Amino acid sequence: MIKILIVDDSASVRNFFSEFFSNEPDLEVVGCAEDGEAAFRMVKELNPDVVTMDVNLPDHDGFAVTRRIMEENPVPIVIISAVYSASDAEIGFRMLDTGALAFHNKPSINDKFFRERMNEIIMSVRLMSEVRVVRRRNRVQKNVEHLDTETMKNFRQNMKNAKAKIVCIGASTGGPQALKQVLIDLPKSLPVPVLIVQHISSGFLEGLVNWLHEKTGHNIKIAAQNEILEAGVIYFAPEDSHIQVSSKRRVILLQNPAVNGIRPTIAKLFSSIAANFGEGGVGVLLTGMGRDGADGLLEIRRNGGYTIAQDKETSIIFGMPGEAVKLGAAVSVLPLEKIGQDINRYILDSYGENL
Protein backbone atom coordinates (compact mmCIF):
# COMPACT_ATOMS: atom_id res chain seq x y z
CA MET A 1 0.00 0.00 0.00
CA ILE A 2 1.35 3.43 -0.99
CA LYS A 3 0.91 5.99 1.78
CA ILE A 4 0.11 9.52 0.58
CA LEU A 5 0.23 12.87 2.39
CA ILE A 6 -1.78 15.62 0.65
CA VAL A 7 -0.62 19.22 1.18
CA ASP A 8 -3.04 21.89 -0.06
CA ASP A 9 -4.58 25.02 1.52
CA SER A 10 -8.03 24.30 0.09
CA ALA A 11 -10.24 21.99 2.15
CA SER A 12 -12.33 21.11 -0.91
CA VAL A 13 -9.24 20.15 -2.89
CA ARG A 14 -7.88 18.08 0.00
CA ASN A 15 -11.19 16.25 0.30
CA PHE A 16 -11.46 15.74 -3.43
CA PHE A 17 -7.95 14.30 -3.82
CA SER A 18 -8.36 12.21 -0.70
CA GLU A 19 -11.52 10.63 -2.08
CA PHE A 20 -10.05 10.13 -5.53
CA PHE A 21 -6.84 8.50 -4.29
CA SER A 22 -8.74 6.32 -1.82
CA ASN A 23 -10.69 4.75 -4.69
CA GLU A 24 -7.44 3.14 -5.84
CA PRO A 25 -6.82 -0.22 -4.12
CA ASP A 26 -3.07 0.37 -3.73
CA LEU A 27 -3.24 3.98 -2.48
CA GLU A 28 -3.91 5.12 1.09
CA VAL A 29 -4.22 8.75 2.16
CA VAL A 30 -2.62 8.86 5.62
CA GLY A 31 -3.03 12.58 6.18
CA CYS A 32 -3.94 16.02 4.81
CA ALA A 33 -2.01 19.20 5.65
CA GLU A 34 -3.41 22.70 5.07
CA ASP A 35 -0.13 24.59 5.54
CA GLY A 36 3.64 24.17 5.62
CA GLU A 37 4.02 23.67 9.37
CA ALA A 38 1.44 20.88 9.34
CA ALA A 39 3.26 19.33 6.39
CA PHE A 40 6.61 19.32 8.24
CA ARG A 41 5.05 17.73 11.28
CA MET A 42 3.03 15.12 9.41
CA VAL A 43 5.94 14.00 7.24
CA LYS A 44 7.83 13.17 10.44
CA GLU A 45 4.88 11.55 12.21
CA LEU A 46 3.26 9.63 9.35
CA ASN A 47 6.28 8.65 7.24
CA PRO A 48 4.40 8.80 3.90
CA ASP A 49 5.72 7.14 0.75
CA VAL A 50 4.92 10.22 -1.34
CA VAL A 51 3.72 13.80 -0.76
CA THR A 52 1.51 15.79 -3.13
CA MET A 53 2.36 19.49 -2.76
CA ASP A 54 0.57 22.71 -3.74
CA VAL A 55 2.70 25.74 -4.64
CA ASN A 56 0.74 28.34 -2.66
CA LEU A 57 0.34 27.74 1.07
CA PRO A 58 -0.79 30.26 3.71
CA ASP A 59 2.34 30.23 5.89
CA HIS A 60 5.16 29.14 3.56
CA ASP A 61 5.51 28.91 -0.20
CA GLY A 62 5.93 25.53 -1.81
CA PHE A 63 9.65 26.18 -2.41
CA ALA A 64 10.41 26.55 1.29
CA VAL A 65 8.28 23.58 2.29
CA THR A 66 9.78 21.26 -0.31
CA ARG A 67 13.32 22.38 0.45
CA ARG A 68 12.91 21.85 4.20
CA ILE A 69 11.33 18.42 3.78
CA MET A 70 14.13 17.33 1.44
CA GLU A 71 16.76 18.59 3.87
CA GLU A 72 15.24 17.13 7.04
CA ASN A 73 13.01 14.16 6.08
CA PRO A 74 13.50 13.29 2.40
CA VAL A 75 10.42 11.84 0.71
CA PRO A 76 9.27 11.79 -2.95
CA ILE A 77 7.28 14.96 -3.67
CA VAL A 78 4.85 15.45 -6.57
CA ILE A 79 3.77 19.04 -7.18
CA ILE A 80 0.08 19.49 -8.06
CA SER A 81 -0.76 23.14 -8.59
CA ALA A 82 -2.97 25.23 -10.85
CA VAL A 83 -1.25 26.46 -14.02
CA TYR A 84 -2.86 29.36 -15.85
CA SER A 85 0.17 30.80 -17.67
CA ALA A 86 3.79 30.12 -18.59
CA SER A 87 4.89 31.99 -15.46
CA ASP A 88 2.83 29.61 -13.31
CA ALA A 89 4.54 26.67 -15.00
CA GLU A 90 7.97 28.24 -14.40
CA ILE A 91 7.22 28.36 -10.66
CA GLY A 92 6.54 24.65 -10.68
CA PHE A 93 9.70 23.85 -12.60
CA ARG A 94 11.75 25.96 -10.20
CA MET A 95 10.39 23.77 -7.41
CA LEU A 96 12.10 20.83 -9.09
CA ASP A 97 15.37 22.51 -8.10
CA THR A 98 14.44 22.08 -4.44
CA GLY A 99 14.04 18.31 -4.79
CA ALA A 100 10.51 17.67 -6.06
CA LEU A 101 10.32 14.88 -8.64
CA ALA A 102 7.33 15.74 -10.83
CA PHE A 103 4.95 18.60 -11.59
CA HIS A 104 1.28 18.35 -12.65
CA ASN A 105 -1.40 20.90 -13.38
CA LYS A 106 -4.28 20.73 -10.89
CA PRO A 107 -7.14 19.52 -13.10
CA SER A 108 -10.51 21.25 -13.22
CA ILE A 109 -13.60 19.10 -12.80
CA ASN A 110 -14.95 20.82 -15.93
CA ASP A 111 -11.92 19.88 -18.04
CA LYS A 112 -13.01 17.49 -20.80
CA PHE A 113 -9.73 15.63 -20.22
CA PHE A 114 -10.29 15.50 -16.46
CA ARG A 115 -10.19 11.71 -16.20
CA GLU A 116 -6.98 11.54 -18.27
CA ARG A 117 -5.34 14.24 -16.14
CA MET A 118 -6.24 12.44 -12.91
CA ASN A 119 -4.98 9.14 -14.28
CA GLU A 120 -1.66 10.85 -15.10
CA ILE A 121 -1.44 12.12 -11.51
CA ILE A 122 -2.27 8.70 -10.05
CA MET A 123 0.36 7.04 -12.26
CA SER A 124 2.90 9.68 -11.27
CA VAL A 125 2.18 9.14 -7.56
CA ARG A 126 2.70 5.40 -7.99
CA LEU A 127 5.94 5.82 -9.91
CA MET A 128 7.44 8.53 -7.71
CA SER A 129 6.70 6.55 -4.54
CA GLU A 130 9.29 4.04 -5.73
CA VAL A 131 12.04 6.58 -6.34
CA ARG A 132 14.85 6.58 -3.82
CA VAL A 133 15.44 10.14 -2.64
CA VAL A 134 18.34 11.41 -0.58
CA ARG A 135 18.83 14.28 1.81
CA ARG A 136 19.60 17.47 -0.09
CA ARG A 137 21.85 20.29 0.99
CA ASN A 138 22.31 23.66 -0.68
CA ARG A 139 25.69 23.65 -2.34
CA VAL A 140 27.49 25.03 -5.35
CA GLN A 141 27.30 22.71 -8.31
CA LYS A 142 30.62 21.01 -9.02
CA ASN A 143 32.03 20.33 -12.44
CA VAL A 144 31.46 16.76 -13.52
CA GLU A 145 34.46 14.49 -13.71
CA HIS A 146 36.14 13.83 -17.05
CA LEU A 147 35.17 10.73 -18.95
CA ASP A 148 37.39 7.81 -18.16
CA THR A 149 40.11 6.94 -20.66
CA GLU A 150 38.53 3.64 -21.71
CA THR A 151 35.21 5.26 -22.59
CA MET A 152 36.97 7.93 -24.64
CA LYS A 153 39.05 5.30 -26.42
CA ASN A 154 36.02 3.18 -27.29
CA PHE A 155 33.92 5.90 -28.86
CA ARG A 156 36.91 7.34 -30.74
CA GLN A 157 37.57 3.92 -32.26
CA ASN A 158 33.91 3.38 -33.14
CA MET A 159 33.13 6.87 -34.42
CA LYS A 160 36.42 8.37 -35.55
CA ASN A 161 35.27 8.95 -39.15
CA ALA A 162 31.84 10.37 -38.33
CA LYS A 163 31.02 14.07 -38.45
CA ALA A 164 28.19 15.13 -36.16
CA LYS A 165 25.50 17.23 -37.81
CA ILE A 166 22.62 17.25 -35.34
CA VAL A 167 21.81 16.17 -31.76
CA CYS A 168 18.35 14.85 -30.89
CA ILE A 169 17.20 14.14 -27.33
CA GLY A 170 14.10 12.36 -26.03
CA ALA A 171 12.80 12.50 -22.46
CA SER A 172 9.65 11.82 -20.47
CA THR A 173 9.09 11.34 -16.72
CA GLY A 174 11.90 13.11 -14.87
CA GLY A 175 12.99 14.76 -18.11
CA PRO A 176 13.03 18.44 -17.08
CA GLN A 177 15.64 17.84 -14.36
CA ALA A 178 17.67 15.59 -16.64
CA LEU A 179 17.56 18.06 -19.53
CA LYS A 180 18.73 20.86 -17.26
CA GLN A 181 21.83 18.87 -16.32
CA VAL A 182 22.62 17.86 -19.91
CA LEU A 183 22.21 21.40 -21.28
CA ILE A 184 24.29 22.95 -18.49
CA ASP A 185 27.16 20.73 -19.61
CA LEU A 186 26.91 21.73 -23.29
CA PRO A 187 28.82 24.77 -24.60
CA LYS A 188 26.92 27.74 -26.01
CA SER A 189 29.13 27.52 -29.12
CA LEU A 190 27.97 24.02 -30.10
CA PRO A 191 28.47 23.80 -33.92
CA VAL A 192 25.27 21.78 -34.43
CA PRO A 193 21.59 22.30 -33.53
CA VAL A 194 19.92 20.33 -30.73
CA LEU A 195 16.32 19.15 -31.05
CA ILE A 196 14.35 17.84 -28.05
CA VAL A 197 11.09 15.97 -27.60
CA GLN A 198 9.86 16.10 -24.00
CA HIS A 199 6.60 14.36 -23.08
CA ILE A 200 4.76 17.04 -21.13
CA SER A 201 1.21 18.08 -20.23
CA SER A 202 -0.51 20.74 -22.30
CA GLY A 203 0.29 24.29 -21.23
CA PHE A 204 3.66 23.49 -19.67
CA LEU A 205 6.09 23.73 -22.59
CA GLU A 206 6.61 27.50 -22.66
CA GLY A 207 7.28 27.50 -18.92
CA LEU A 208 9.77 24.65 -19.35
CA VAL A 209 11.60 26.52 -22.11
CA ASN A 210 11.79 29.71 -20.03
CA TRP A 211 13.02 27.81 -16.97
CA LEU A 212 15.71 25.95 -18.90
CA HIS A 213 16.89 29.19 -20.54
CA GLU A 214 17.18 30.79 -17.11
CA LYS A 215 19.08 27.81 -15.69
CA THR A 216 21.41 27.05 -18.60
CA GLY A 217 21.84 30.32 -20.50
CA HIS A 218 21.27 28.57 -23.84
CA ASN A 219 19.30 30.01 -26.72
CA ILE A 220 16.20 27.80 -26.39
CA LYS A 221 13.00 28.04 -28.41
CA ILE A 222 9.98 26.07 -29.61
CA ALA A 223 10.48 24.87 -33.18
CA ALA A 224 8.22 26.26 -35.92
CA GLN A 225 6.96 24.70 -39.16
CA ASN A 226 9.52 24.92 -42.02
CA GLU A 227 12.10 26.58 -39.78
CA ILE A 228 15.75 25.94 -40.68
CA LEU A 229 17.64 24.70 -37.62
CA GLU A 230 20.68 26.77 -36.64
CA ALA A 231 23.86 25.64 -34.93
CA GLY A 232 24.04 26.39 -31.22
CA VAL A 233 20.27 26.71 -30.78
CA ILE A 234 18.21 24.30 -28.65
CA TYR A 235 14.80 23.53 -30.19
CA PHE A 236 11.81 21.86 -28.51
CA ALA A 237 9.08 20.06 -30.39
CA PRO A 238 5.84 22.05 -29.96
CA GLU A 239 2.91 20.67 -28.02
CA ASP A 240 0.61 18.26 -29.80
CA SER A 241 2.60 18.01 -33.07
CA HIS A 242 4.89 15.23 -34.22
CA ILE A 243 8.21 16.59 -35.43
CA GLN A 244 10.70 15.49 -38.06
CA VAL A 245 13.75 17.09 -39.65
CA SER A 246 14.58 17.04 -43.36
CA SER A 247 18.09 16.45 -44.70
CA LYS A 248 18.34 20.25 -45.15
CA ARG A 249 17.65 20.81 -41.41
CA ARG A 250 14.12 22.02 -42.11
CA VAL A 251 11.48 21.42 -39.41
CA ILE A 252 8.46 19.35 -40.44
CA LEU A 253 5.49 19.38 -38.06
CA LEU A 254 2.83 16.70 -38.48
CA GLN A 255 -0.69 16.33 -37.13
CA ASN A 256 -0.72 12.56 -37.61
CA PRO A 257 -2.61 10.62 -34.91
CA ALA A 258 -1.00 10.16 -31.52
CA VAL A 259 1.12 7.01 -31.14
CA ASN A 260 0.17 5.06 -28.02
CA GLY A 261 -1.53 8.23 -26.78
CA ILE A 262 1.61 10.35 -27.32
CA ARG A 263 2.08 13.38 -29.60
CA PRO A 264 4.80 14.39 -30.22
CA THR A 265 6.64 11.08 -30.16
CA ILE A 266 10.37 10.71 -29.78
CA ALA A 267 10.20 7.83 -32.27
CA LYS A 268 9.26 10.00 -35.28
CA LEU A 269 12.03 12.49 -34.57
CA PHE A 270 14.68 9.81 -34.12
CA SER A 271 13.58 7.97 -37.28
CA SER A 272 13.89 11.13 -39.37
CA ILE A 273 17.35 11.83 -37.95
CA ALA A 274 18.45 8.28 -38.76
CA ALA A 275 17.10 8.48 -42.32
CA ASN A 276 18.28 11.98 -43.20
CA PHE A 277 21.56 12.38 -41.30
CA GLY A 278 23.00 8.85 -41.07
CA GLU A 279 26.34 8.89 -39.27
CA GLY A 280 25.86 12.62 -38.61
CA GLY A 281 23.08 11.94 -36.09
CA VAL A 282 23.65 11.94 -32.33
CA GLY A 283 20.71 10.45 -30.40
CA VAL A 284 20.16 10.62 -26.64
CA LEU A 285 17.39 8.89 -24.68
CA LEU A 286 16.81 10.08 -21.12
CA THR A 287 14.62 9.02 -18.20
CA GLY A 288 11.00 8.21 -18.93
CA MET A 289 8.14 5.75 -18.66
CA GLY A 290 7.33 3.37 -21.53
CA ARG A 291 9.48 2.65 -24.57
CA ASP A 292 9.02 5.64 -26.89
CA GLY A 293 12.29 6.35 -28.70
CA ALA A 294 13.98 2.99 -28.09
CA ASP A 295 13.43 1.68 -31.63
CA GLY A 296 14.32 5.08 -33.10
CA LEU A 297 17.58 5.17 -31.18
CA LEU A 298 18.42 1.77 -32.65
CA GLU A 299 17.74 3.17 -36.13
CA ILE A 300 20.20 5.99 -35.49
CA ARG A 301 22.86 3.53 -34.36
CA ARG A 302 22.27 1.19 -37.31
CA ASN A 303 22.68 4.16 -39.67
CA GLY A 304 26.08 4.96 -38.21
CA GLY A 305 25.12 7.63 -35.69
CA TYR A 306 26.30 7.92 -32.10
CA THR A 307 23.75 6.98 -29.42
CA ILE A 308 23.53 7.43 -25.64
CA ALA A 309 21.08 6.08 -23.06
CA GLN A 310 20.87 7.33 -19.48
CA ASP A 311 21.78 4.63 -16.96
CA LYS A 312 19.40 3.03 -14.47
CA GLU A 313 21.03 4.49 -11.36
CA THR A 314 20.45 8.12 -12.39
CA SER A 315 17.10 7.70 -14.22
CA ILE A 316 14.00 8.59 -12.24
CA ILE A 317 12.22 6.05 -14.47
CA PHE A 318 14.40 3.61 -16.46
CA GLY A 319 11.61 2.65 -18.87
CA MET A 320 12.63 4.28 -22.17
CA PRO A 321 16.42 4.10 -21.76
CA GLY A 322 16.08 0.61 -20.33
CA GLU A 323 14.23 -0.56 -23.44
CA ALA A 324 16.94 0.99 -25.61
CA VAL A 325 19.63 -0.84 -23.66
CA LYS A 326 17.77 -4.15 -24.12
CA LEU A 327 17.71 -3.58 -27.88
CA GLY A 328 21.41 -2.75 -28.03
CA ALA A 329 20.50 0.71 -29.32
CA ALA A 330 22.98 2.63 -27.16
CA VAL A 331 26.67 2.94 -28.00
CA SER A 332 27.14 4.35 -24.50
CA VAL A 333 25.06 3.94 -21.32
CA LEU A 334 26.04 6.77 -19.02
CA PRO A 335 25.07 8.43 -15.73
CA LEU A 336 23.26 11.72 -16.19
CA GLU A 337 26.19 13.86 -15.05
CA LYS A 338 28.37 12.50 -17.89
CA ILE A 339 25.94 12.73 -20.80
CA GLY A 340 26.36 16.41 -21.68
CA GLN A 341 30.12 16.10 -21.43
CA ASP A 342 30.06 12.99 -23.61
CA ILE A 343 28.05 14.79 -26.31
CA ASN A 344 30.49 17.68 -26.17
CA ARG A 345 33.57 15.48 -26.37
CA TYR A 346 32.13 13.43 -29.24
CA ILE A 347 31.40 16.58 -31.24
CA LEU A 348 34.78 18.05 -30.36
CA ASP A 349 36.43 14.85 -31.56
CA SER A 350 34.23 14.87 -34.67
CA TYR A 351 35.17 18.42 -35.64
CA GLY A 352 38.73 18.28 -34.36
CA GLU A 353 38.52 21.68 -32.72
CA ASN A 354 38.03 23.29 -29.33
CA LEU A 355 34.45 24.33 -28.72
Q: Give dist(CA 102, CA 95) in Å, integer.
A: 9
Task: Decide if 292 is catalytic.
Answer: yes
Q: Give dist(CA 57, CA 92) in Å, integer.
A: 14
The helix/strand/coil state of 53 is strand
Q: Which of 157, 192, 124 is nearest to 353 (CA)?
A: 192
My answer on whether omega of the bond before 321 falls inside 30° of 0, hence cis, is: no
**Residue 187, φ and ψ in degrees, nearest 5:** -75, 155
Residue pair 285/297 in contact by the 8 Å Cβ criterion: yes
Complete DSSP assignment for 126-191: HHHTTS--------PPPPPPPPPHHHHHHHHHHHTT----EEEEEE-TTHHHHHHHHHHTS-TT-S
Active-site choice (199, 201, 342, 350) = 199
Q: Give dist(CA 167, CA 139) in Å, integer.
A: 31
Task: Decide if 213 is catalytic.
Answer: no
Task: Decide if 342 is catalytic.
Answer: no
Active-site choice (49, 54, 185, 292) = 292
Active-site choice (124, 172, 272, 350) = 172
Residue pair 269/170 in contact by the 8 Å Cβ criterion: yes
Enzyme catalytic residues:
172, 199, 292
